[in-house]
Amino acid sequence: MAPHKLYSLLLPFLLIVFMPKVNAQTSDDGKNLFKKIFITDAYNKAVRPTFHPNEATNVTMNFYLTKIIEFDSQKEILTTSGYLDIRWYDPYLAWNPLDYNSTDILYIPQDKVWKPDITLLNDVSNFEELGSISLFVYVSNNVSVDWVPYGIWKSTCSVDITYFPFDTQSCDLRFGTWTYFTKDVLIKVDNYTINLDFYETNSAWSIVDTSAYTQEIAGSSLAVFQIKLKRKPLFFLLNIMLPVMMLSLLNVCIFVLTAESQEKASFSVTVFLALVIFMSMVMGTLPQNSEEISFLGVYLVIMAAFSTLAVILTMFQIRLSSRDADVNPIPSWLIKLQVMVEVVRCRRRSKLHPATHSHDEVVEFCSEDTTSERRNSKSQATNEQPKVTWNQICSSLDFIFFWFFSLGTVIVTVTIVAIYNISG
């Protein structure tokens, strides 16, 4: 007999003998297994899965964050989406895989088996059961149950607005059992962080850090998933902070206009109204509480106070500029103040134009100005015609107020910027 004919005769025999055994699971296997669990064994989902009533059921949780949908800092509500991976052991769901054609995995609707009544304890909308009736739990023959409920959660989150808009907020999602105590159900966490493998970034907030830990409150066990968020400040920098700083410079520019200018009063009031509008915009984005106050809000209040003072001083100057020195004599202290301002201006001119006049000429010129002002003061004291007018007094006041508001604005602005830099 030819060798190839011999091989063709032996090949079917060899395949039958040496081919590995393959078990094909059928629908009957699943039906029989369901019948065994829920009819034969009379599985009751109301019974906690333990053979010893005094022994707690260990429940392990992990949180997978998928998106920060919204963080309403005014209402202090954080809206997130994600899912939980919850696992426990149920000895009443045991079976021998060999009896059911090596079936070692079973998918059961979540409302058919016992599961811990876990809910989001700091929910602001309503307390609902996790998951839905359309979800299944993953049950293996080693009595391990894996439940993966998903959802969109609205949780409370206390907001610290001190360093707004460079603030960092810490928000918790607190999941715990609603009915069972720690002696019945003990919650644990596998990982001490939140899983961000499927996370989609948020345009307004960035995640700085996450953590997960367990707590026991009022005899109940709960898992706390903490998210540390940092606000992205670019929008507020361009639309609030920079315009407010530029408006604060306009407070100073009010005193560049002379008292005779008809636009000085309207200009000062316009700057004040603009600051008030920006203040209302900032306050509209912050929670309405009295526990903390934003440094930006303090800065706006100070600038508004400066603007209010500038409006008052402007009205006062306009009133003075309309006076006649013959009818309303100028007080001697105002004349002395005007003399001091002229001396300061004279020295500033000498520093700004050192090549135009020699030092001796500048000193002589300033001395002459000072002497003339003193003569004016003496003439006023002897009821002679004064040479200093109210417009000159207003000009000197403009000089003083200009540098006072400039110095105050710079000090306040630099202080606020330094505080934000220190805060990181």
pTM for this prediction: 0.76
pLDDT at 198 over 50: yes
pLDDT at 286 over 80: no
Top pLDDT among 376 and 412 is at 412
Top pLDDT among 289 and 343 is at 343
Residue 354's pLDDT is what?
52
- 287 contacts: CB under 8 Å, gap ≥ 6: 73, 74, 75, 76, 159, 161
pLDDT at 113 over 90: yes
Q: Which of 6-10, 47-51, 408-412 has the lowest mean pLDDT?
A: 6-10
Identify which of 399, 408, 409 has the alpha carbon closest to the alpha carbon of residue 259.
Answer: 399
Per-residue confidence at 380, pLDDT binned at 50, 70, 90? very low
pLDDT at 358 over 70: no
State which H helix or E strand residue 389 sits in.
Answer: none
Which range scores top for mean pLDDT: 59-68, 264-273, 282-291, 334-343?
59-68
Per-residue confidence at 382, pLDDT binned at 50, 70, 90? very low
Both tokens assigned to 320: 């003075």
Q: How far is it, in rounded angstroms, from Cα 31 to Cα 39?
A: 11
pLDDT at 136 over 70: yes
**What's the mean pLDDT when you consider all of the chain?**
82
DSSP-derived letter for residue 123 is B
Both tokens assigned to 147: 């439940």
pLDDT at 184 over 70: yes
DSSP-derived letter for residue 152 is E
Residue 244's pLDDT is what?
85
Read off the pLDDT of each residue in 43-71 and give the average, rounded to a whole number. Answer: 93
Residue 359's pLDDT is what?
45
Read off the pLDDT of each residue in 50-72 and give the average, rounded to a whole number. Answer: 93
Read off the pLDDT of each residue in 152-172 and give the average, rounded to a whole number. Answer: 92
Q: How far is it, in rounded angstroms, from Cα 407 to Cα 391?
A: 24
Residue 424's pLDDT is what?
66
Per-residue confidence at 18, pLDDT binned at 50, 70, 90? very low
pLDDT in tens, 214-268: 999 888 999 999 999 999 999 888 888 888 888 888 888 888 888 777 788 888 8
Q: How far is CA 4 from CA 15, 17, 18, 37, 47, in A?
A: 17, 20, 20, 54, 67
pLDDT at 327 over 80: no
Q: How far is it, in rounded angstroms, from Cα 368 to Cα 383?
A: 22
CATH class of this structure's domain 27-232: mainly beta
Both tokens assigned to 293: 């106050």
Read off the pLDDT of each residue in 32-40 and give the average, rounded to a whole number. Answer: 89
Read off the pLDDT of each residue in 80-88 and give the average, rounded to a whole number. Answer: 96
Angle (CA) 292 294 300, round 5°: 135
pLDDT at 102 over 90: no
Per-residue confidence at 11, pLDDT binned at 50, 70, 90? very low
- 259 contacts: CB under 8 Å, gap ≥ 6: 317, 318, 320, 321, 391, 394, 395, 398
- Cβ 57 vs Cβ 88: under 8 Å: yes
φ and ψ at 291, to 5 degrees?
-80, -45
Cβ neighbours, 10 Å, residue 252: 21
- Looking at this protein, which amino acid is placed at residue 5? K
Per-residue confidence at 332, pLDDT binned at 50, 70, 90? confident
Place of tokens 């995995």: 105
- 175 contacts: CB under 8 Å, gap ≥ 6: 61, 63, 84, 118, 119, 120, 121, 187, 222, 223, 224, 225
Read off the pLDDT of each residue in 320-346 and give the average, rounded to a whole number. Answer: 80
Identify which of 239, 173, 229 has the alpha carbon closest to the alpha carbon of residue 203.
Answer: 229
pLDDT at 373 over 90: no
Both tokens assigned to 193: 């962080």
Per-residue confidence at 149, pLDDT binned at 50, 70, 90? very high
Residue 27's pLDDT is what?
64
Residue 422's pLDDT is what?
85
**Domain locations in the chain?**
27-232, 235-423
Residue 363's pLDDT is what?
46
